Amino acid sequence: MPFKPQNMSNNAAVSDDGGEIGRAQWLQALACGAPSSVHMNPVLLKPQSETGSQIIVQGKVWGQAKGRDYQQLKARLLDAVMESWDIVRAGADIVIVEGAGSPAEINLRAGDIANMGFAIKANVPVVLVGDIDRGGVIASIVGTHTILSLEDRHMIAGYLINKFRGDVSLFDDGLKSITEFTGWPSFGVVPWLKDASRLPAEDSVVLERLVKGGERALKIAVPVLDRIANFDDFDPLIAEPQVEVVMVKSGQRLPEDAGLVIIPGSKSTIGDLQRFRENGWDHDLDLHRRRGGHIVGICGGYQMLGKTVSDPEGIEGMSETVKGLGYLDIETVMEPEKTIRNVQAHSLPFDLPLSGYEIHLGRTTGPDCVRPAMNIEGVADGAISADGKVFGTYMHGLFNSDAFRAAFLKSLGVSASPIDYHAGVDAALDAIAAQLEAVLDIEALFALKHT
User: Which pLDDT score, from 0 to 100, does residue 48 have?
Assistant: 78
Instruction: Please tell me whether residues 399 and 437 are part of one structural domain.
Output: no
Active-site annotation holder among 39, 145, 288, 396: 396
3 state SS of 367: helix
Q: Which residues contact 362 (CB under 8 A, 6 or more apart)?
A: 269, 303, 309, 332, 333, 334, 335
Instruction: Please tell me whether residues 209 and 117 are part of one structural domain.
Output: no
Confirm whether 112 is domain-assigned: yes
Rounded distance between C-alpha atoms, residue 324 and residue 274, angstroms:
10
Confirm whether 96 is domain-assigned: yes
**Between 337 and 70, the higher pLDDT residue:** 337
User: Which pLDDT score, from 0 to 100, does residue 207 have?
Assistant: 53
Average pLDDT over residues 96-111: 89
Rounded distance between C-alpha atoms, residue 231 and residue 10, angstroms:
9
Q: Share the mean pLDDT of the chain.
A: 91
Q: What is the torsional sign of CA 21, 22, 27, 32?
A: negative
User: Which pLDDT score, from 0 to 100, does residue 50 have?
Assistant: 65
User: Which pLDDT score, from 0 to 100, does residue 215 have?
Assistant: 62
Instruction: Please tell me whether residues 37 and 151 are part of one structural domain.
Output: yes
Instruction: Please tell me whether residues 159 and 217 are part of one structural domain.
Output: no
- CATH number reported for the structural domain that contains residue 383 in this entry: 3.40.50.880
Instruction: Please tell me whether residues 136 and 35 are part of one structural domain.
Output: yes
pTM over 0.75: yes
Instruction: Please tell me whether residues 242 and 302 are part of one structural domain.
Output: yes
Q: How confident is the model at residue 246 (pLDDT cuts 50, 70, 90)?
A: very high
Does the pLDDT of residue 154 top 90, yes or no?
yes
Domain that holds residue 8: 2-197+429-446
Instruction: Please tell me whether residues 299 and 401 are part of one structural domain.
Output: yes
User: Which pLDDT score, from 0 to 100, does residue 314 have?
Assistant: 86
pLDDT in tens, 254-300: 999 999 999 999 999 999 999 999 999 999 999 999 999 999 999 99
Distances (CA, A) of 340 to 12, 18, 91, 94, 396: 10, 7, 28, 29, 11
Whether residue 9 contacts residue 44, with contact meaning beta carbons closer than 8 Å, is answered with yes
Confirm whether 332 is domain-assigned: yes
Confirm whether 424 is domain-assigned: no
Instruction: Please tell me whether residues 35 and 181 are part of one structural domain.
Output: yes
Confirm whether 257 is domain-assigned: yes
Q: How confident is the model at residue 231 (pLDDT cuts 50, 70, 90)?
A: confident
Rounded distance between C-alpha atoms, residue 148 and residue 151, angstroms:
8
The question of whether 396 is a catalytic residue gets the answer yes
Confirm whether 259 is domain-assigned: yes
User: Which pLDDT score, from 0 to 100, does residue 106 have?
Assistant: 87
Confirm whether 142 is domain-assigned: yes
- Helix (H) or strand (E) run with residue 158 in it: strand 156-164
Instruction: Please tell me whether residues 158 and 75 are part of one structural domain.
Output: yes
Instruction: Please tell me whether residues 152 and 232 are part of one structural domain.
Output: no
Confirm whether 451 is domain-assigned: no
Average pLDDT over residues 424-446: 93
**Strongest mean pLDDT among 204-218, 294-308, 434-448:** 294-308
3 state SS of 58: coil
Instruction: Please tell me whether residues 158 and 188 are part of one structural domain.
Output: yes
Rounded distance between C-alpha atoms, residue 356 and residue 361, angstroms:
17
Count the neighbouring beta carbons within 10 Å of the beta carbon of residue 350.
16
Instruction: Please tell me whether residues 87 and 219 are part of one structural domain.
Output: no
Average pLDDT over residues 214-243: 89
- CATH number reported for the structural domain that contains residue 70 in this entry: 3.40.50.300
User: Which pLDDT score, from 0 to 100, does residue 209 have?
Assistant: 47
Count the domains in the chain: 2
Active-site annotation holder among 294, 299, 360, 369: 299
Average pLDDT over residues 126-152: 94
Rounded distance between C-alpha atoms, residue 384 and residue 393, angstroms:
9
Maximum C-alpha span of the chain: 70
> Which residue in 336, 285, 278, 328 sits closest to 303, CA to CA?
328
